[in-house]
Structure 1
Amino acid sequence: MNQFILIYTEKNTNRIEYIFDFICCDFLGIDFKITTDVTEFINSDLPKINFSTHFFEDEINFQIDDILVENEIRDDVNYNQLSEIGKCFYWLSRYEEYIAQQHQFDHHNRFLGSELDYSKPIVDLIVLEIQKIIQLKYPHFQFNKREFKQINTHDVDFSWKYLNKPWFETIGSIGKKVLKGNFKEIKSQIDVLSYKIKDPYDQFNYIKQLSDKYKIESIFFWLLGDKTEFDRNLNWENQAQADLIKATNQWAKVGIHPSYISNFNESSQALEIKRLEKILNKKVLISRQHFIKLNFPNTYQQLLINGIKEDYSMGFAHKTGFRAGTSTPFKWFDLSTNQQTMLITYPFVAMDVTLRNYMKLTIEDAIIELKNLKNNVKEVNGTFITLFHQSNFEDEWSDWKIVYESLFND
Structure 2
Amino acid sequence: MLLVYTHKITPRVKYVFKHICTRILGLPVAFTTTIEEFIAHDSLKMSYTKQPLSNEISIRSHELLFEQGLNDIEIQVHTWGETKGFFPTGEKSALPYDIFAASFYLLSRYEEYLPHVKDAYGRFPAEESIAYNNNFLHEPIVDIWAYKFKQILQDSYPDFKFETQKYQVKPVIDVPEAYSFKQKGIMRSIGGSLQDLAGLKFKRLYTRFSVLFGLKRDPFDNYKYIINKQKQSRFKFIFFFLIGDYSTYDKNININNTNFVSLIKQVSDYSMVGLKASFLSLTSYDTLKREKERMESVINSSLIASRNSYSKISLPESYRNLVELEIQEDYTMGFVNHIGFRAGTCTPFLFYDLDYEVQTPLKVYSYNLLDYALLKTNSLLDKKKVLNETIEVIKKVNGTFIPVFHNYTFSNLERWSGFKELFKIIIESPNNE
One of 374, 394, 412 as aligned partner of 1:394: 412
Q: Is the 8 A contact 2:116 2:124 kept in 1?
A: no
Per-residue deviation at 1:179? 3.4
| Aligned match of 2:81 | none
Q: Secondary structure in 2 aligned to 1:23?
A: helix
One of 241, 259, 284 as aligned partner of 2:303: 284
Residue identity matched to 1:323? R
| Aligned match of 1:108 | 121
Per-residue deviation at 1:157? 0.6
Q: Is the 8 A contact 1:9 1:34 kept in 2?
A: yes
Residue identity matched to 1:23? I
Please, what is the CA RMSD of the aligned residues? 1.6
Q: Is the 8 A contact 2:139 2:393 kept in 1?
A: yes
- In the alignment, is residue 153 of structure 1 matched against residue 172 of structure 2? yes
| Aligned match of 1:60 | 57
Q: Distance in 1 between matches of 2:372 and 2:317?
A: 25
| Aligned match of 1:265 | 284
Q: Which runs of 5+ in 1 are unaligned?
A: none
| Aligned match of 2:397 | 380
Q: Distance in 2 between matches of 1:134 and 1:30?
A: 11
Residue identity matched to 1:78? I
One of 345, 354, 359 as aligned partner of 2:364: 345
Deviations 1:274-317 (A, max 9, x none): 11111111110101111000121111111111111011111101
One of 185, 205, 210 as aligned partner of 1:191: 210
Q: Secondary structure in 2 aligned to 1:208?
A: helix
| Aligned match of 2:112 | 97
| Aligned match of 2:75 | 78
Per-residue deviation at 1:361? 3.6
- How many aligned positions are there? 403
Q: Is the 8 A contact 1:8 1:34 kept in 2?
A: yes
Per-residue deviation at 1:246? 0.3
Q: Distance in 1 between matches of 2:74 and 2:402?
A: 30
Residue identity matched to 1:304? V
Q: Is the 8 A contact 2:169 2:426 kept in 1?
A: no
Q: Distance in 2 between matches of 1:129 and 1:179?
A: 60
Q: TM-score, normalised by structure 2?
A: 0.89
Residue identity matched to 2:122? N
- In the alignment, is residue 179 of structure 1 matched against residue 192 of structure 2? no
Q: Distance in 1 between matches of 2:281 and 2:379?
A: 34
| Aligned match of 1:294 | 313
Q: Secondary structure in 2 aligned to 1:144?
A: coil
Q: Distance in 2 between matches of 1:56 and 1:97?
A: 36
Per-residue deviation at 1:319? 0.7
- In the alignment, is residue 42 of structure 1 matched against residue 61 of structure 2? no
Per-residue deviation at 1:203? 0.5
Q: TM-score, normalised by structure 1?
A: 0.94
| Aligned match of 2:382 | 365
Q: Secondary structure in 1 aligned to 2:237?
A: strand
Per-residue deviation at 1:5? 1.8
Residue identity matched to 1:107? A
Mean alpha-carbon deviation: is it higher for 122-131 or for 188-197? 188-197
Per-residue deviation at 1:360? 5.0
Per-residue deviation at 1:372? 0.7
Per-residue deviation at 1:45? 2.4
Per-residue deviation at 1:146? 0.5
Deviations 1:43-92 (A, max 9, x none): 33232110111213331101111110011211224253411221111111
